[in-house]
Amino acid sequence: MNRKSPILFETNAHGVALVTLNRPSVHNAMDPELLENLSAVLTDVAEDDGVRAVILTGAGDAVFSAGADIRYLHNATPLQVRELARLAVRVTLQLENLGKPSLAALNGHALGGGLEIAEACMLRVAAEGAQLGHPEVRIGAVAGFGGTTRLARLVGKGRAAEMLLTGRAIDADEALRIGLVNAVVPRAALIDEAGALVDAVLARYPTAVRLTWEALHRGLNLPLEESAALGADYFGLVATTAEFRQGTRGFLDRRVQREAVH
């Protein structure tokens, strides 16, 4: 894609795709064009066996994404606003159901819809000094890209209610304390640190990673007994793979070696 595209895409030698929200002049705000392009990229990623994982970040040094494009919202009809939100929800569902590891590298402020996109990723790493929040109520709006659903699943209902109802932004360190992000790193090291975390996931058996994520993600929407049963079913399913046999054999061989030493 050329530099004027609202989405930039590149893949490194390890098969990790870097997807960049590329509207820096408006703080990477999301309009229909950006979201449609992001959806198309995610479709390609899901279908490309050469892409093993995705890191999502923003262009520039200060903002991951300021959320929905306010100018677009102000001029849109209510139907257009709803369609924008439904498009964004489609994108977040694509991220959650990608079948491959996804990580949001928050290079700066992640607000409103920008944070909602990040919430749909498996993991999140924030640069020092980043601010995260849901300011929608401050402009008479609702977190309609999935924030009212996902934030509580990440940080709990009480903390989510405070953020969503007051519109208060929190800094990266507080986001780490409440579990909204997995790590806070120096801005200059963000992509390297994000890549290291992705590599740690990719070092594990891919089928086990995929089914673990599905059990976690789907299980949160099920009653406790059904969620536990789903995990048991996936445990049985992964046992049908050559990866499982290789992994268990490797464990037994290492144990035999340790016992022989002692």
Task: Locate the domains of the chain by residue range.
Answer: 7-202, 206-261
pLDDT in tens, 211-260: 999 999 999 989 999 999 999 999 999 999 999 999 999 999 987 677 77
Distance of CA 243 to the CA centre of its chain: 26
Average pLDDT score over the chain: 95
Residues with active-site annotation: 116, 136
Parallel, antiparallel or unpaired: strands 170-171 and 131-133: antiparallel
Is residue 52 within 8 Å of 14, Cβ to Cβ?
Answer: yes
206-261: which CATH architecture? Orthogonal Bundle (1.10)
- Please indicate whether the domains covering 7-202 and 206-261 agree at the CATH topology level: no
pLDDT in tens, 11-29: 999 999 999 999 999 999 9
Residue 239 sits at φ, ψ, to 5 deg, of: -70, -10
Angle at 145 between CA 142 and CA 148, to 5 degrees: 60
Q: Where do we find the tokens 């049963």?
A: 229
Cα–Cα dist 133/163, whole Å: 7
Which of 125, 258, 115, 95 shows the shortest CA–CA distance to 193?
Answer: 125
What is the reported pLDDT for 1?
A: 40
- Whole-prediction pTM value? 0.93
* Per-residue b or e along 82-102, where b marks 16 or more CB atoms closer than 10 Å to that residue's CB: eebbebbbebbebbbebebbb
* Alpha-carbon torsion, ordered 219, 225, 230, 232, to 10 deg: 130
Cα–Cα dist 46/32, whole Å: 21
CB-based burial label for 12 (10 Å; 0-12, 13-18, 19+): exposed
Coil, helix or strand for 121?
coil
What is the reported pLDDT for 258?
A: 74
Element of type H or E holding 56: strand 53-58
- Alpha helical stretches, state H, the chain: 32-47, 70-75, 78-96, 113-119, 147-155, 157-166, 172-177, 190-202, 206-219, 224-238, 242-261
pLDDT in tens, 86-113: 999 999 999 999 999 999 999 999 999 9
CB-based burial label for 4 (10 Å; 0-12, 13-18, 19+): exposed
What is the reported pLDDT for 51?
A: 98
Q: What superfamily would CATH give domain 7-202?
A: 2-enoyl-CoA Hydratase; Chain A, domain 1 (3.90.226.10)
pLDDT in tens, 227-241: 999 999 999 999 999
